[in-house]
């Protein structure tokens, strides 16, 4: 399952958000069921960001989200993100190389 999470940094918070997310990505990558995660930024729009995640299953992704919330380490729900821009989409892989 592929999950994309698109969002924009809150005004003046781009660098702080990038640092915060970069610091927690190793734990995400180590979480059971996470195959990979890419943290991206639109080339000509600094602060317009996206996470592209590959998970073994919806259940493992939901367990991860629960762990982030309960551990207090979720970055996307805080004041670093313009919450009006936060969009999550779930994709089932039909074919991949």
Task: Give a yes or no: residue 96 inside a domain.
Answer: no
CATH number, domain of 49, equals 3.30.70.100
Is 81 domain-assigned? yes
Q: Given this model, what pLDDT does residue 96 score?
A: 86
The domain of 16 spans: 2-88
Number of domains in the chain: 1
**Is there a domain that residue 43 lies in?**
yes
What element of type H or E holds 7?
strand 2-9
Q: How remote is the C-alpha of 96 from its chain's centroid?
A: 21
pTM to 2 decimals? 0.93
* 93 is a domain residue: no
**80, part of any domain:** yes
User: Cα separation of 87 and 53, whole Å?
Assistant: 14
Q: What is the mean pLDDT of residues 34-61?
A: 97
| DSSP label at residue 65 | H
Q: What is the DSSP string of 17-56?
A: HHHHHHHHHHHHHHSTTEEEEEEEE-TTSTTEEEEEEEES
Q: Are 80 and 11 in contact (CB under 8 A)?
A: no
Least confident of 1-15, 29-43, 73-87: 73-87
In a domain, 34, yes or no: yes
């Amino acid at each position: 399952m592929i999950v994309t999470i698109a969002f924009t940094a809150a005004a003046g918070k781009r660098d702080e958000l990038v640092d915060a997310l970069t610091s927690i990505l190793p734990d995400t990558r180590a979480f059971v069921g996470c195959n990979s995660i890419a943290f991206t930024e639109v080339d000509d729009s600094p602060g317009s960001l996206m996470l592209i995640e590959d998970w073994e299953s919806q259940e493992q992704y939901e367990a991860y989200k629960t762990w982030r919330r309960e551990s207090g380490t979720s970055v996307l729900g805080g004041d670093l993100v313009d919450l009006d821009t936060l969009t999550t989409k779930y994709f089932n892989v039909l074919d991949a190389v």
